[in-house]
Amino acid sequence: MSEAPIFCVDGGGTRSRGRIVLASGETLAEAVAGPCNPSSDLSLAVSSITQLWADIAVAAGFDPQAPSRCRLSIGTAGALHPEIRNAFLSGLPVFAERHVMTDGYAALVGASGGEPAGLLVMGTGTVAHRLFADGISIQRDGWGWVAGDRGSAAWIGRKAVEHALAARDEVVAPDDLSAAVWNDMGGEPDAVRSWLRDARQARFAGIAPLVGDAAEAGNATATGILDHAADHGADLLRSLALEEDEPVFLRGGVAEFLHDRLVRRYGRNFAGSEGDAMHGCFLVATGAAPREVRR
């Protein structure tokens, strides 16, 4: 089955993207489905990828009931934890082969073509990776939104929510940011309590664009949150200890907010990517990039 088509998946905290690619590199179909983070919501992750397969199989002209025609190559959070990985895979359709890696690693090898490099992903979560010439990699952060993922969209959103609640309590002065966040959460105490009770990573991440808008309008609190997020990102980049001739890549939705701040703090420009995380999944499945092995 080494020539079987490859179902390449970038499982993200906000949405998942899929691409069916022939061994030659030709793309047959693409599709989008819901979030996939088995480490935080296993059942939702299984449901999202199962639906993604059903949709993309139809788009490619395949029988959704015959997944064994394809190889699965997926990058998703929690992929290296054996218990999480096994539970996740056991809930999915049965494919001819299964290649599993973290979403950050898939993005790294997709960007670098499998060559030594570094990558900072600042999206719903935050993670940094470095791939060495011997095929071994290291990871920084990616601990999850509850106590890690510093500088991520979820982190930015949580800081904005904390500010809105403090303003409501008259601990800090209210401003345009606190008003926008309070209204987004429901605009009155009972609604906000319900919002907070049900809040998970993606919900906090959904607040981040309000911070970006407020910062562009000159709000000092929002600007400070983004500056602090960029500090976290630059610290992670320095922790990779890249060689001067090794490229470094920046990916994720928060990059639009933080690109210039990160360049100023880190002192290096970011390289252009060869491809995306799904391309990284393709390279691993075809042996053109090493499987993820951690130092």
For the cut 80, the answer to whether the pLDDT of residue 144 exceeds it is: yes
Cβ atoms of 19 and 39 within 8 Å: the answer is no
Give the sheet arrangement for strand 16-21, strand by strand. Answer: 27-33, 16-21, 6-11, 71-75, 97-101
Please write the tens of the pLDDT for every residue from 252-286. 888 878 999 999 999 999 999 999 999 999 999 99
Under the banding of pLDDT at 50, 70 and 90, the label for residue 201 is confident
Same fold, 6-113+275-294 and 123-271: yes
Q: Grade residue 77 by pLDDT with cuts at 50, 70 and 90.
A: confident
The region of weakest confidence among 14-28, 202-216, 230-244, 249-263 is 249-263
Does the structure show a pLDDT above 50 at 1? Answer: no
- Give domain 123-271's CATH architecture: 2-Layer Sandwich (3.30)
- Name the residue type at position 43: S
Inter-residue contact 46 to 11 (CB < 8 Å):
no
Q: Is the pLDDT of residue 80 over 80?
A: no
Q: How large is the average pLDDT for residues 129-145? A: 92
Q: What's the rounded Cα separation, in Å, for the pair 89 and 196?
A: 31
> How many of the other CB atoms lie within 10 Å of CB of 42?
16
Cβ atoms 54, 99 nearer than 8 A? no
Give me the pLDDT at residue 164, please.
98
* Interval 50-79 mean pLDDT: 94
Fold classification of 6-113+275-294 is: Nucleotidyltransferase; domain 5 (3.30.420)
Q: What is the pLDDT of residues 12-51, one digit of tens each?
A: 877 899 999 999 999 999 999 999 989 888 999 999 999 9
Residue 89's pLDDT band (cuts 50, 70, 90): very high
- pTM, two decimal places: 0.85
Task: Return the domain boundaries, the chain.
Answer: 6-113+275-294, 123-271
pLDDT of residue 213: 96
Mean pLDDT of 164-189: 97
- Six token digits for residue 36: 């996939």
